[in-house]
Amino acid sequence: MTIDMLIVFGLLAIMIILFVSDRLRLDLIAMMGLLALLLLDILTVQEALAGFADPVVLIIAGLFVVGGALVQTGVADRMGTWLGRVAGTREISLIIIIMAVAALLSGFMSSTGTTAVLLPIVVSLARDARISPSKLLIPLALASLLGGILTLIGTPPNLVVSNQLVSEGLAPFGFFSFTPIGLVMLVIGVVFMALIGRHLLPDRQREEITFAEEDGDGDEALSIKDLAQTYQLPGNLFRIRIRRSSPLLGRTLAEADLHKQYDITVLQIQRRADKYSLPGPPQPVTADTLLEAYDILHVQGSPQNVRRMARELDFTITADESGGETIAQEMGMVEVLLTQRSRLIGRSLAQVNFRAKYGLTVLGIRRMGELLSGRIIDVPLQFGDMLLVEGTWDRVRVLRRDARDFIVVGQPAEMAEAERPARLGPVAVAIMLGMLILMTFEIVPTVTAVLLAAAALVLTGCLTMEDAYRNINWESVVLIAGMLPLATALQKTGGMAFIANNITSSFGEMGPVAVMASLFVLTAVFSQFISNTATAVLVAPIAFQTAATLGIAPQPLLMAVAVAASTSFATPVATPVNTLVLGPGGYRFADYAKVGVSLQLIMLVATLLFVPIFFPF
């Protein structure tokens, strides 16, 4: 073992520790590793930067644009709406249909995008069927991951292992080369979840979907009242009327600073001409809103603080006996989930000036299923946080269209459906089908077909260039470009051969199936804690080198690596897909392990049985 090899192994160990710690972004860690290889003179500048010119990086960037167009034009959303019409209300049928639709979508767009599109629809289906969302959301996540195995473009690890063949001078996997194995894994996953897995899932948050039933309105959909009760708002919402003798007359809300003085948030204002006139409709407030006599303010705060403020500032409390229920019904209110790429992550509501920027007020935050207390305006936000926001319906609809930062999970029946550019849906579908034809019949290289489709989608107006850039997950793109040079360094220093020889010496005498099992376990374990794409980038060259050492075909080992990379089921942090369903499902770490580990073991056996049939050694 040479000094350079030890350095590369040490660097790899440090990067894995950083990946697992989740203290730094994945793409930053990859770039730090790339810089270390340069500074330590392990790689030349050309070798270190070669990842940014690799076709797989451009393919993945282009596919994010294609998937974004399907969402932007409403194609994916309409599939979800169709799902709602045919799924029924039986738990087994819901699981089967949800998983089938999710897998189909995931075969042609990112698994994260698929989950984001279907998440609010599945939550709505659960409420309509009087089923806890926790019974349906892990099946949705599993199907989104398994659907990636169906096609070459379904998930980045598929492209990585195919590109490994190309880099070694062999023919790549075809567009549908993954389909037979993918279908086997999907069927196994659906059957497992329908017969066994659903019994391992918790039955949480049932109280959130049965409020209407308890009130005798079993046929009603989710309402503002339900959302308010979920976030424990009744009893914390009040109307207060400003008296003529109040010291706040003629001052703005910024000058009054009620939030700092009394921990009270002003939500809306109703103007009155005089003491005897009827109040006008509720209006949004800003820092410059001027307080006048007889104004009625809708406020949120503890009863103790509201009473103290009313006493000290000469206000009259006019909340009704419903504890704020009537107030809640007058507000536009939705529950939103922060996405992985949200610009709010790591920053507090105060830092992003949320209220001024979006014209909405955050009434509550739930994290890991628990309602946060205290001054939520100062809490740094995290991926997966759920926010209850209030404001005018127009403002709420604007927020709903911000797919980069938010996913609307709890959308009450009072909110009208947002308009979608449905007329461009057929155009987007036609362009995607054209891309698939070019790839399937190998008329042009894969990267050319994907970039042609991305350009066509922009030229036809399915999405703008700004939308295209927003839909690209740059973290994934930079992560792959930064990790590819590490694989080059392992190859250059002999580290790849060292690992391959150890795998061969340990399992080679047991036969190629045992070697395949070891690679599957290695990939599956790594994928639970670091990006499955990064894992595939590292393990694919090892699999190829191991095949060369054993003198067998590399395709079955690479296919096993691809399948294992898509079995990131066992932890909520293994993939953004798992994290997205964490909050809405009210899951805990153990819930993923119960279902995920069991299914991974079954997938391991299925891989050892079926991969050699389709890809002989």
499 lies in some domain: no
Assigned domain for 282 exists: yes
Q: Evaluate if residue 32 carries a pLDDT over 90.
A: yes
Q: Is residue 275 part of a domain?
A: yes
How many angstroms separate the CA atoms of 187 and 193, rounded? Answer: 10
218 pLDDT exceeds 50? Answer: no
CA distances 25 to 13, 17, 32, 531, 569, Å, are 16, 13, 11, 11, 21
* The Cα angle at residue 419 between residues 83 and 328, in degrees rounded to 5: 85
pTM given for the model: 0.65
pLDDT of residue 294: 84
Do residues 354 and 360 make contact, with C-beta atoms less than 8 angstroms apart?
Answer: yes
Residue 371's DSSP bridge partners are 366
360 and 386, same domain (yes or no): yes
Q: What percent of the chain has pLDDT over 90?
A: 21
Closest by CA to 147, choosing from 598, 409, 139, 69, is: 139
Residues 303 and 337 in one domain: no
Q: Please indicate, yes or no, if residue 187 is contained in any of the structural domains.
A: no
Q: Is residue 373 packed enough to be buried (19+ CB in 10 Å), middle (13-18) or exposed (0-12)?
A: exposed
Q: Are residues 300 and 351 in the same domain?
A: no
**Above 90 in pLDDT, residue 110?**
no
pLDDT at 227 (0 to 100): 60
362 located within any domain: yes
Would residue 392 count as lying in a domain? yes
What are φ and ψ of residue 269, in 5° steps? -135, 145
First CA to last CA across the chain, in angstroms?
30
357, 383, 410: which is the final residue of a domain? 410
Q: Which DSSP string do the residues of 151-183 spell out, in sequence order?
A: STTSSHHHHHHHHHHHHTTSPPPPTTTTHHHHH
pLDDT at residue number 206: 45
Is residue 150 within 8 A of residue 183, CB to CB? The reply is yes
Amino acid letter for position 433: L
pLDDT band at 329 (very low <50, low <70, confident <90, very high): very low
> Of all helices (H) and strands (E), which one includes residue 371?
strand 370-371
More confident residue, 372 or 333: 372
More confident residue, 374 or 99: 99
Q: Is the same domain home to 277 and 347?
A: no
Which position has the token pair 């199907």? 143
Q: Are residues 240 and 313 in the same domain?
A: yes
Any domain includes 15:
no
pLDDT tier, 573 (very low <50, low <70, confident <90, very high otherwise): low
Question: Are both 306 and 344 inside the same structural domain?
Answer: no
Q: Strands (DSSP E) along 282-323, which ranges?
A: 283-284, 296-300, 315-317
- Tell me which residue range forms the domain holding 381: 332-410
Question: What is the C-alpha separation between 264 and 66, in angstroms, rounded?
Answer: 45
Nearest to 59 by CA among 563, 479, 477, 577: 477
Neighbours of 239 (CB within 10 A): 21
Q: State yes or no: pLDDT of 432 exceeds 80.
A: yes
Query: pLDDT category, 213, cuts 50, 70, 90?
Result: very low
**Of the residues 293, 318, 343, which one is the last residue of a structural domain?**
318
For the chain, what's the residue count? 617
pLDDT of residue 225: 57
> Which of helix, strand or coil describes residue 298?
strand
Q: Which of 26-30, 33-37, 61-65, 573-577 has the lowest mean pLDDT?
A: 573-577
Q: CA–CA separation, 606 vs 357, rounded Å? A: 51
- Tell me which residue has tokens 């809405």: 584
What is the domain-level CATH number for residue 341? 3.30.70.1450
Residues 547 and 544: their CA atoms lie apart, in Å, by: 5
More confidently predicted of 382 and 589 = 382
- CB distance 30 to 479 below 8 Å: yes
Chain centroid, CA 508 distance in Å:
40
- Flag whether pLDDT at 132 surpasses 70: yes
Name residue 256's amino acid.
Answer: A
Domain stops at, among 252, 283, 318: 318
Helices (H), ranges, 284-352: 303-313, 325-329, 349-352
| Predicted confidence band of residue 233 (pLDDT cuts 50, 70, 90) | low
Confidence class for position 269, pLDDT limits 50, 70, 90: confident
Q: Does 484 reside within a domain?
A: no
CA dist 14 to 10, 20, 33, 529, 562, Å?
Answer: 6, 10, 9, 14, 24
Measured CA angle at 299 (ends 298, 300), to 5 deg: 140
Rg (CA), the chain: 27
Query: How far is 353 from 292, CA to CA, in rounded Å?
Result: 25
Q: Residues 345, 390: one domain?
A: yes
Q: Are residues 406 and 372 in the same domain?
A: yes
Number of domains, the chain: 2
607 or 106: which carries more pLDDT confidence? Answer: 607
- Which pair of structure tokens corresponds to residue 424? 């461009």
Backbone angles phi, psi at 200, to 5 degrees: -90, -10
Residue 355 and residue 379 in one domain: yes
Question: Which structure tokens are listed for 1?
Answer: 């073992």
Spatial distance between the Cα atoms of 572 and 172, rounded to a whole number of angstroms? 32
